[in-house]
Structure 1
Amino acid sequence: MGNNTKAYIALFNVCFFWGTTYLALRIGVEHFPAFLFSGIRQFSAGVLLFAGMALFGKLEKLTWKDFARQALPGIFLITISNSTIGWAEKYIPSGLAALIVCIMPLYIVIINLILGKERNLLNKKVIAGFALGCIGIVLIFRDNLSDLGNPDYFWGIIASFIACMFWAIGSVYLKNSKFDTSPFSNAAMQFTIGGLGCFLVSLFVDDYSELAYADANSIWALVYLTLIGSLLAYGSYVYAIKHLPMLVVSTYAYVNPVIAILLGVLILDEKITWITVGALLVTLLGVYLINAGVAKSSAKT
């Protein structure tokens, strides 16, 4: 089987399995302290990844400096972003969380403009995509006006937007940083550091009385997210990035929210309205235009 075929299989894994993580996360934190849940998941993924690299002779000699350089992405991407989405899903539908997360390209455009980078990438497509993304955000709030009076629901939505913002900041940091260590070592350090951060946040945020109601569904969701969501999906993403054009790999951003919304409706009986569908379509079109506009400007440059 050629590398190209393997790469497309890896991309399929990313598109599908990352889309399923929103459902698994929703099930996992329903009767389990959210940050403790994410801490166990991410720290375990880090330990397993280190063990796997050692087993196959790929373990690098790492220094404290290497761990320090992965502290910021570990905290931003995992402790603040990924785990906060888990906390938010205790109060909002998994499909809504996925829809909010898919607006991340808007944050990246804003961050790059603030930093004064890639101003040359702005063109009509990027601006139109940004505008459509903003309309998508308005539609998201419009479709949930009746529920925003519930403080938990309101803060769940706000937390999702904040988590998305920190994922964008962490991603921009990774994009503009050079590391001497391999992507798998970086991921293992980020999992480990981020997981430890989750444990620390858990001490101040989580309600441990929920552990009395933890059931088999939470445990199976934890196992699934550790092995499939963190290890398999991320490993597939790394392989796909190496062997396929970035524009092709970025298509996962269009598939994930669709899968998350459909699974939420089919399995958890989450409600979906035409406004939600409209918000999804408008937002995904905005993301597409941003990616297409950036690709066009990059090609010219």
Structure 2
Amino acid sequence: MDKKIVNAYLALAVVCIVWGTTYFAMRIGVATFPAFLFSGIRQVTAGTLMMALLLLAGQKLTISRRDITRQFVAGTLMIALGNGVVGWAERYIPSGLAALIVSVMPVYVVLIGYVSGADRKAVNAYLIMGLLLGCVGVSLIFRDNLADLANPNYLYGILAAFFACFCWAAGTVYTKHKPSEAKTLVNVAFQLTSGGVVLLMGSVFLDDYSQLATISPDSLWALLYLIIFGSLASYGCFLYALKHLPSGLASIYAYVNPFIALLLGYFFLNEKLTWITALALTVTLGGVYFVNRSYRPKKAGAYPAGNTDDSAH
């Protein structure tokens, strides 16, 4: 087998594992760190480091004002309202549950694209099956957490995770139909940085800074892990895998991540894992599969789970 293909499979394995651990790391990080400040520092640092690495590699950060505006909008939707709000939600709900809720995102992408008129693709049996399974998966998620919903913070956490997933999907649709002429990594650097700045601004009004006196070393290690591996290294691996493998295969991380997150939460954070959770995961990922499958006749590999943005992680 070609060495590049072997390396691409190894890079894909890194993506599947590392992106699956980001929910676990966020849960540890926000446990003692103001949530929006935590995510803001992570994204601004990652974006700034990416810009520095691009400059050191001899690349120019060429981007128009129009594209800066577009990356700001995308960064606000996916990085700030998507990733940042998921981080806040994980203060109140298990990391595995957050990952399970976010796995519904491709279904939202289809619905938002259709309602907004941005992508009214032909309805087919695969799409209908995928949307129905997605709805059943969401119902099972709520069914599995009925007892805990009596706790207001838990309820707010779940609603926040669904809201974050919706914003993430809206950002995905926006990015797809408002493309930038700049290079991919330049777009990502500006997107991470702009989203991080929005998070830092929101932190001033939404975070409790008294927590700064009790930040644990574990939270700081989680922050460092997410900056280096969650944002920088794994994204580079994903781009390499996407370049040398079919996009459909490269997007397999969308199916692996929830399993990794649920297992890590179960074994290391004592998070609940029931048969209904397993059923909800199976049904939801089945829905994602059928939604993705519905796009293949139109353009091979061009479907929501193959989105190349690292906003969720």
TM range (shorter): over 0.9
User: Could you list the per-position Cα deviations for residues 71-93 of structure 1 after superposition, in whole angstroms to 9, with x for gaps in the alignment?
Assistant: 11111110110010000000000
Identity %: 51
Distance 2:173 2:46 in 1: 23
Name the residue aligned to 1:152: 153
Name the residue aligned to 1:38: 39
Name the residue aligned to 1:264: 265
Note if contact 2:51-2:61 (Cα within 8 Å) is conserved in structure 1. no
Distance 1:241 1:77 in 2: 21
Distance 1:181 1:265 in 2: 42
Q: How many residues end up aligned between the 2 structures?
A: 299
Note if contact 2:11-2:241 (Cα within 8 Å) is conserved in structure 1. yes
Note if contact 1:99-1:280 (Cα within 8 Å) is conserved in structure 2. yes
Name the residue aligned to 2:174: 173
Aligned pairs for 1:156-235 within 5 A: 156-235=157-236
Quote the offset at 1:298 in angstroms. Answer: 3.6
Note if contact 1:121-1:293 (Cα within 8 Å) is conserved in structure 2. no
Distance 1:26 1:120 in 2: 37
Q: Are 1:5 and 2:14 matched, yes or no?
A: no
Quote the offset at 1:240 in angstroms. Answer: 2.2
Name the residue aligned to 1:126: 127
Q: Are 1:92 and 2:93 matched, yes or no?
A: yes
Distance 1:116 1:255 in 2: 31
TM-score, structure 2 normalization: 0.92
Distance 1:284 1:61 in 2: 38
Corresponding residue SS for 2:145: coil
Distance 1:105 1:69 in 2: 21
Aligned-partner residue type, residue 290 of structure 2: L
Moved more, 216-225 or 46-55: 46-55
Quote the offset at 1:269 in angstroms. Answer: 1.0
Distance 1:171 1:120 in 2: 16
CA RMSD of aligned residues (A): 1.4
User: Could you list the per-position Cα deviations for residues 240-262 of structure 1 after superposition, in whole angstroms to 9, with x for gaps in the alignment?
Assistant: 22222221122111100000000
Q: Are 1:135 and 2:136 matched, yes or no?
A: yes
Structure 1's unaligned 5+ residue stretches are none
Structure 2's unaligned 5+ residue stretches are 301-313
Quote the offset at 1:63 in angstroms. Answer: 4.7
TM-score, structure 1 normalization: 0.95
Aligned-partner residue type, residue 114 of structure 1: V
